[in-house]
Amino acid sequence: MTPTAIGRIVGEHDTRVWRVLEHYVDEARARANFSEVAAAGDDETAREKGHVYLALFADLVLARVMFVTEGKNHETVARFKEDLVSHGGDPLKVKDFSLDMSKAFIKGIGEQFGNARITFDKSFLHCVSGLNGYRSGCGMGQLLPCRELESSIQRDSGLPRDEGSDPPDATKAETKDERGLAAVE
């Protein structure tokens, strides 16, 4: 619900609702402690027409929003890192980062969170059509060019290559087709 809608319901002007919201958000942010953050996630959304974006960073363990900023480039990750540190967080403790496949965010995480392993947002992987020409639609159980995709992302991002194999996921069965592509069922 927007502050304007809240203002109509409670009989106040939306500027007063915004002031109250700002007060309590500022108060909560002043007390925020990010010292235990080990897994973070990022997503962005358009704030308005004309490619004006907001990036949101969240603690994936405690399911809380930590930071919101304008932008959709690698510098937004640098701003998040500054905020994380200002609230007692340690970028070296962040071991996992979940995001969509934005090259800008991959670059930013590689630069700012060198110890973090990147996990791509499952909904993004399953709903991007035409990924490397291997998929034409959206949905579970479709072929994913896992090794080729991983290699190209590692190469493009400059992130270190993990030579070990990923731990098996007991909740998913993976099979390979004749081209060696993994299909998640």
Domain coordinates in residue numbering, the chain: 1-31, 34-120, 122-185
Decide if 110 contacts 100 (C-beta within 8 A). no
Strands 52-59 and 117-120: unpaired
Decide if 50 contacts 40 (C-beta within 8 A). no
Per-residue pLDDT of the chain (185 residues; tens, 9 = 90+): 888 999 999 999 999 999 999 999 999 999 999 999 999 999 888 877 777 889 999 999 998 999 999 988 999 999 999 999 999 999 999 999 988 888 899 999 999 998 999 888 765 444 343 343 333 333 444 334 444 444 544 555 555 544 444 444 444 444 555 544 444 44
- The domain over range 34-120 is classified in CATH as 3.30.9.10: no
